[in-house]
Amino acid sequence: MTDPCLICMKPINDGLTWQGLLNLEKKKTLCADCSKRFVRADIIEEGPVLDRVHSLYAYDDAMRDWLHQYKFLQDVALADVFADELKKALGGKDIIVPIPMHPERAVERTFSHVETLLDRAKRPYRQLLEKTTVSVMGEKSRQERLQMEPLFRLADTATIEPVTYLLVDDIYTTGTTLRQAAELLKEAGAERVEAVTLIRSIQN
């Protein structure tokens, strides 16, 4: 018996193969119908602050459903769906830095979604960044403060070396988050800052 599909919960019926019997085949997490919905886009973007961003998927219906079920319905098991692909995309030589969760959101959610993705991909990471807390007091609106104040600071224990750092986030939309994180790491001495995101959402 195999485990059910992580998305539709139907049994995964992939027939018996000699690789399967010998456990040489990679364990499937999705049924054939669900896995067909996910089409790799491999979008690469380059820039001056953030040297390179590799996004594995476009923000299509399949990824929107996955993100909703993973992040908002907190179906943690869904991190397994992309574990192997993320592991390959991350490689093995750069220092991996997850984008931290906003403290306000940490209360709403019970798990750190980016760190969980990395845990399931079995890639070690360093939590070098801390989200700054934005004060809601005062006459300026919360939106104005969010635009003015930095999103991150370096963790007290962080030492930055002149090497390549690889930021990881689930979704890349405007790029503000990733660019601010890249800027901070570069000011502290990072030679190159790249990023890998699962999803690239292009806003119209």
Interaction site with Zn ion (CB under 5 A): 5, 7-8, 31, 34
What is the smallest separation between the CB atom of 171 and Zn ion, expressed in angstroms?
22
- Which string of DSSP letters, residue by residue, matches 128-177? -EEEPPPP--SSS-HHHHHHHS-SEEE-TT----SSEEEEEEEEESSSHH
Nearer to Zn ion, 29 or 177 (CB): 29
- Convert 71-92 to b/e letters by CB count within 10 Å (16 or more is b): beeeeeebbbbbbeebeebbee
- Convert 173-182 to b/e letters by CB count within 10 Å (16 or more is b): eebebbbbbb
What is the smallest separation between the CB atom of 15 and Zn ion, expressed in angstroms?
16
What is the smallest separation between the CB atom of 85 and Zn ion, expressed in angstroms?
17
Nearer to Zn ion, 34 or 178 (CB): 34
What is the smallest separation between the CB atom of 178 and Zn ion, expressed in angstroms?
31
